[in-house]
Amino acid sequence: MTFREIELAGERIWLLAGGAVFLPETQTLVVADLHLGKGTSARIRGLLLPPGDTISTLEKVQRLVEDYKPRLLIALGDSFHDAKAGERLLDIEKMMLRSIVSKTSILWITGNHDALPVPDIAGEWLEDYRFGNLILRHIPSEIVPTGKAELAGHLHPKIRMRIRGHAMSRACFVKGPDRLILPALGSYTGGLDVSDPTFSGLFADGSAAYVWSADRISRVA
Amino acid sequence: MSIHLPEPFQSWFSQQGWTPRPHQLAMLQAAEDGVSALLIAPTGGGKTLAGFLPSLIELAKGSYAKGGLHTIYVSPLKALSTNIAESLSRPIMEMGLPVRIEVRSGDTSAVRRKRQQKNPPHILLTTPESLALLLSYPDAAEYFSTLRALIIDEVHALAGTKRGDQLSLCASRLRTFAPAMRCSGLSATVAHPSAIAAWVSPTGHASGVRIVTAEDGVRPDVHVLLPDQRGYLPWAGRTGLGSATAILTAIAAARLTIVFVNSRAQAELLFQALWKDNTENLPIGLHHGSLDTTRRAKVEEAMAQGTLRAVVATSSLDLGLDWGAVDQIIQLGAPKQISRLTQRIGRANHRMDEPSRALLAPANRFEVLECEAAREAVLRHELDGAPPRAGTFDVLAQHVLVTACAGPFFPDALYKEVRRTAPYSQLSRTDFDDIIRFVEDGGYALQAYDRHQRLFRDSLGQLWVRNEQIIRQFRMNIGTIVDTPLLRVKSRRGKTFGEIDEYFASTLVPGDTFLLGGELLEFLGMQDTTVQAARGRGKDPRVPVYGGNQLSISPGLARHVREMLHEPSSWNVLPPSVQDWLTLQSERSRLPEPDQLLVETFPHRGWHYLVAYTFEGRNAHQTLGLLLTKKLEDTGKGPLGFVANDYMVACWCVHPPGSITDLFSRTLLEGSLTEWLDESSMLRRTFRDVAIIAGLVERNYPGREKNRRQMTISSDLLYDVLRKYDPDHILLRATRLQAAEGLTDLARLSEMLERIQGHIEHVSLPHVSPLAVPVLLEQGREKIRGGEGEDYLLAEADRLYELAATP
């Protein structure tokens, strides 16, 4: 259970190895961009991708739930790859979801891939969620109200870096004075490099990037 | 020989002042006897005509006057087809033969394709990809039913490759449609005649194939060309730009020279260097695979018209193109393989009875050894190269879908047809069935959601493609050449600087500088699929690497080089600077001895380096690099990467490597390498190609090519999921088999370890040794991802931020 505590708008936030966030005050676990059902989404076109991505993503969520025993799990949107992703879930995947639901309440924030609640999935659906000084939503907003801070997903941030000549690329958290962008947790999700202008637009006052290894969350930019 | 040229061929030959060569008549006899044949003849020996004569003679009899496809000619190069069409049109016209020839390739217009479909020519010149596409149409059985001959040119360049696998499967399909079809393979250099004979055979076995060997050409005239009179050679580097002036002088002394280089980047750099020096304005052109078709066509035309004095070329001109009277070739950089060098030397002088002239220009000191060794081997008529390997599963998966697109098929019948090809003659039924299942529904252990399969079975057991959309989509993705896509490099304002390889782009970090088109650019970042850059300043700019295979030295040639190095008495043929270099090595460190393993360790750029002089060839060194880094990781040394060339392997770690004798002990081979290998970037690269060819990942997606990056899921992610939930999936097996082809078997390394026990010479140095310089400059570094080394680096970066934040 490797984590690193940061602070936004006076709220304590733990960055977890694996790419999730835990809010210790309220015992809330936050994950972003699960893209469940992405592997099977191309089957209609005859593209037969390996189906294990959804299970693999759910396993990650399951492990986080077991480790941190949250009272509430919030998925920050694009939790399901498309409106029919729920229908395509395998029995084992449905079972895993049920087992997660039995351990914690779930709040699904809608995203651009799952703009409407996905049928037959347990849990509450909302467009965004506020508590304390935090605003949780899928797509980062242009301006965060003063005194508040935002947790968002959508961008799948990753960072390319060169440390002492050795180049590597990793998924990362991006933190500014009033917001935190979470990396995507889904197994078939690519990423957008933090050098992309999108990020400089969101973080005009500078940002920090955090990546994780087995026993440490490191700031690398 | 009892066979004669019939009229009007006899008279036409006489008019040219020619007499038919014995091998041309032997090919005629083979056709008369209805057997397949392999012709091995040096360049300039009338090889192409020998291949086509039987067809022309049959067609001259007029039995195909009403039309129908008689002969298919397949070559590895589109340009070769166009070239052959032109050279055949002369005899056809002059003898007034009732023969229509047409070319069909990816460039053929839609209108012409439609016409070819309706009214086939007598002789169709095409490529393996276009042939596969033709076989995917529903009328294939009828279209090919009149076929009598299949001619495969430059067969050695296809056998043992994925394109070759595809072609052999297509050939077997053609035989099903036209059982009387015979096959002729043409080649100039064949190291394994019976393996290649099996390759053109209707049964997949060499027996029954007639091997026709023409007499050898005249011994070529080969010399080593040094950059300057004093014999100075750079320590390292592969571009050989220092030889530009010497090359220019050599060009000026000949009518038409081809300068062969080993990579596209090298071609670009040399071309610029030659022009910078070219005060006489000698017309010099450039020819390589990344140039657009019109630019290449212009160069080809200029060569044919004799308006050029030299062409700088990559392997794009290796094969038997006949564009004018080349009278000299220059090989710049390591020759790598004796057979390939022989082939390239053959490009000079298309007449069999005059010697070909060749100059070998080494780019660095190690390459002098290699050039000398290769020169001697060519003169001894040595040939190298491994015999063709077994066919790969990804190509077969594609072929199954080609077959299904043409119409429903029975798996039993297809299995028999596939087994009649040499590459798949040993294919097991289990593997075949797994491939069918993969094409059908993905073949995953985790049986997902089966409402959308790709194929369905009818009550008779025939397999059909589910719908037209899948067929249309698949046809756009036929082919086994996987190009690394090129990305456009633009300034913020939108000015285009040029293109770089996607792989190279992926290694850049904002702030890095690189050279492109003679400009120094700074990498700013990626925007969608464009690389953003600005003119920059800085030290150590990187030179873009373009995809395309980095050929490895053949084990035979590596052995020759090693022998030279061990034998100071043989150094007198080497230029003084190279002799000095070797002497310097013996003073600063040691020279590798025949029965010892020399290992050097030294600090370099903040890391702890280890270099082992094993001389087992790049492939074996790749395996050794994997083994060493695994053991270094297991013992907590934090390895970050390794790089191998043909002579040595180097690893670097964040901590000192510890005892070298322990590292190279017999236990190096213990424990499972599979897991470590599966994690390696080598396997990931191999899987990417397998996934694309087998149809797991699409290359072309109608109307959405612009958004390719957003649409496709990176093959790395697929690979990780597949490994986790389906470790024995057919595509993973295919990946491991292919990677194993490249990596030398462990038996050879085990022998080496046995041999060196007690004979390890470890030298600890304050800095890099003279002999180690080349490997440190080598491209193709393999990084160790996600290991302790990277953890260490991340933690180090973190500590720096903490330090900066501390008041």
Chain A CB contacts of B793 under 8 Å are 163-164, 166, 168
- A201 interfaces chain B, CB cutoff of 8 Å: no
Q: What is the pLDDT of residues B507-519, one digit of tens each?
A: 788 888 887 766 7
d(CA B531, CA B59): 55
Strands (E), B661-784: 760-764, 782-783
Of B568, B493, B502, which is closest to residue B531 (Cα–Cα)? B502
pLDDT band at B707 (very low <50, low <70, confident <90, very high): very low
pLDDT at B710 over 50: no
pLDDT of residue B708: 44
Fold of the B9-213 domain: Rossmann fold (3.40.50)
Closest by Cβ to A90, choosing from B449, B729, B785: B449
Pick the residue from chain B with its C-alpha nearest to A166. B640
In contact, B487 and B529? CB cutoff 8 Å: yes
Taking the alpha carbons at both ends of chain A, their separation in whole angstroms is 23
Token pair 């590596």 in the structure block, residue: B558
Chain B CB contacts of A94 under 8 Å are none
Q: What is the pLDDT of residues B583-624, one digit of tens each?
A: 889 899 998 887 789 999 999 988 999 999 988 877 788 889
Residue to test with chain B: of A163, A172, A189, A198, most B Cβ within 10 A:
A163
Contact B797 A220 (CB under 8 A): yes
Contact B713 A44 (CB under 8 A): no
Contact B794 A163 (CB under 8 A): yes
Q: What is the pLDDT of residues B664-682, one digit of tens each?
A: 998 888 777 777 888 888 8
Chain B CB contacts of A44 under 8 Å are 452
Domain range summary for chain B, segments of one domain joined by +: 9-213, 221-379, 486-535
Closest by Cβ to A52, choosing from B452, B511, B726: B726
Chain B CB contacts of A195 under 8 Å are 510, 524-526
Average pLDDT, chain B: 87
Portion 95-124 of A in contact with B at CB < 8 A: none
pLDDT at B492 over 90: no
Domain count, chain A: 1
Range with top average pLDDT, A16-30, B251-265, B708-722? A16-30
Chain A CB contacts of B442 under 8 Å are 48-51
Q: What is the pLDDT of residues B307-353, one digit of tens each?
A: 899 999 887 777 656 656 788 999 998 888 898 898 888 888 656 66
The segments of chain A whose pLDDT lies below 70 read none
Pick the residue from chain B with its C-alpha nearest to A87. B449
Q: Which residues of B728-750 are buried (b: 16+ CB within 10 A; e: fewer)?
A: ebbbbebbbbbbeeebbebebbe
Contact A167 B507 (CB under 8 A): yes
In contact, B344 and B157? CB cutoff 8 Å: no
Share of chain B above pLDDT 70, in %: 92
Contact A53 B527 (CB under 8 A): no
Portion 11-30 of A in contact with B at CB < 8 A: none
**Rg of chain A taking only CA atoms, in angstroms:** 17
Chain A and chain B share a number of CB contacts under 8 A equal to 147
d(CA A14, CA A11): 10
d(CA B307, CA B124): 31
Residue to test with chain A: of B468, B709, B721, most A Cβ within 10 A:
B721
Closest by Cβ to B797, choosing from A52, A197, A218: A218
Contact B794 A218 (CB under 8 A): yes
Contact A49 B718 (CB under 8 A): yes
What is the mean predicted confidence (pLDDT) over B41-55?
87
Pick the residue from chain B with its C-alpha nearest to A54. B721
d(CA A132, CA A25): 10
d(CA A39, CA A85): 10
The CATH number assigned to the domain holding A102 equals: 3.60.21
Chain B CB contacts of A47 under 8 Å are 696, 698
Pick the residue from chain A with its C-alpha nearest to B701. A45
d(CA B723, CA B679): 10
pLDDT of residue B173: 98
d(CA B50, CA B212): 11
d(CA B258, CA B302): 13
pLDDT at B704 over 60: no
Contact B698 A215 (CB under 8 A): no
Closest by Cβ to B470, choosing from A46, A166, A219: A46
pLDDT band at B550 (very low <50, low <70, confident <90, very high): low
For residues B723, B729, B733, B735, the Cα torsion angle rounded to the nearest 10 degrees is -60
Closest by Cβ to B794, choosing from A39, A167, A211: A211
Query: A131 to chain B, minimum CA–CA distance in Å?
Result: 30
Closest by Cβ to B509, choosing from A38, A50, A162: A162
pLDDT of residue B543: 65
d(CA B660, CA B662): 5
Closest by Cβ to A218, choosing from B442, B641, B798: B798
Query: Model ipTM?
Result: 0.93
pLDDT of residue B618: 78
Portion 32-61 of A in contact with B at CB < 8 A: 38-40, 43-53, 55-56
Query: B674 to chain A, minimum CA–CA distance in Å?
Result: 21
Lowest mean pLDDT across A20-24, A61-65, B76-80, B472-476? B76-80
Chain A CB contacts of B446 under 8 Å are 50-52, 55, 90
pLDDT of residue B383: 87
Contact A40 B449 (CB under 8 A): yes
Chain A CB contacts of B449 under 8 Å are 40, 43, 51, 88, 90
pLDDT band at B290 (very low <50, low <70, confident <90, very high): low
What is the mean predicted confidence (pLDDT) over B129-143?
95
Residue A118 domain boundaries: 3-219
Token pair 């070739």 in the structure block, residue: B329
In contact, B175 and B420? CB cutoff 8 Å: yes
- A187 interfaces chain B, CB cutoff of 8 Å: yes
Token pair 């259970």 in the structure block, residue: A1
> Per DSSP, what are the bridge partners of residue A15?
A4, A21
In contact, B253 and B791? CB cutoff 8 Å: no
Alpha-carbon distances, residue B5 vs B9, B87, B511, B742 (angstroms): 6, 20, 69, 47
- A143 interfaces chain B, CB cutoff of 8 Å: no
- A10 interfaces chain B, CB cutoff of 8 Å: no
pLDDT at B527 over 90: no
Taking the alpha carbons at both ends of chain B, their separation in whole angstroms is 97
Contact B721 A188 (CB under 8 A): yes
For residues B465, B470, B473, B477, the Cα torsion angle rounded to the nearest 10 degrees is -50
Tokens coding B197: 């004979």
Q: CATH for B221-379?
A: 3.40.50.300
Region for residue B562 given its phi and psi (left: phi exceeds 0; alpha: psi -120 to 50; beta: otherwise): alpha
Q: What is the pLDDT of residues B176-219, one digit of tens each?
A: 999 999 999 999 878 899 999 999 999 999 999 999 999 877 78
Q: What is the pLDDT of residues B384-434, one digit of tens each?
A: 878 899 999 999 999 999 999 999 999 999 999 999 999 999 999 999 999
